[in-house]
């Protein structure tokens, strides 16, 4: 039975190089989690001083997070996972965005994962948290 108030669940793998959105097809009732989209982070080139490199890097990161936030705004619940500090930085960014005030956001650290491992992580997260 399909309900219209079904929550849209997603996972987001993020690291310094890209973000991968993993979700179910909301059109299909019993669809599996699949990779929906990959968003590449801009590559910061180290031309000029350390200070200008840092500014350029911060600007690129904000632009990247803005693009990711735009793509994930449709989801009600989101598992953000990845290596390093990217997921924490994104979570902090999302807390500043009014669109994400009513969303349920979870965060986990993860080692580098293959695509099937990413899919399994998202599937297991929602199986264990429903």
Give the tens place of pLDDT for each residue, 19-42: 999 998 766 667 799 999 999 998
Domain ranges of the chain: 9-128
What is the C-alpha separation between 92 and 123, in angstroms, rounded?
Answer: 24
Residue 98 has pLDDT above 60, yes or no: yes
Q: What percent of the chain has pLDDT over 90?
A: 62
What band does 52 get if pLDDT is binned at 50, 70 and 90?
confident
Angle, vertex CA 91, rays to CA 86 and CA 93, nearest 5: 95
H/E run at residue 19: strand 18-23
Mean pLDDT score of the chain = 88
Mean pLDDT value across residues 97-109: 94
Pick the CATH number of 9-128 from 3.30.420.60, 3.30.2350.10, 3.90.550.10, 3.90.1170.10: 3.30.420.60
């Amino acid at each position: 039975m399909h309900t219209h108030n079904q929550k849209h669940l997603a996972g987001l793998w993020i690291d310094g190089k890209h973000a991968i959105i993993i979700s179910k097809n909301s059109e299909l009732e019993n669809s599996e989690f699949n990779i929906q989209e990959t968003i590449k982070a801009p590559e910061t080139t180290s031309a000029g001083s350390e200070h200008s490199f840092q500014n350029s890097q911060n600007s690129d990161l904000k632009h990247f997070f803005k693009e990711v936030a735009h793509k994930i705004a449709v989801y009600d619940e989101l598992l953000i996972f990845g290596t390093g500090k990217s997921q924490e930085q994104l979570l902090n960014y999302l807390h500043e965005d009014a669109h994400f005030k009513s969303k349920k956001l979870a965060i986990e650290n993860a080692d580098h994962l293959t695509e099937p491992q990413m899919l399994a992580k998202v599937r297991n997260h929602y199986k264990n948290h429903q």
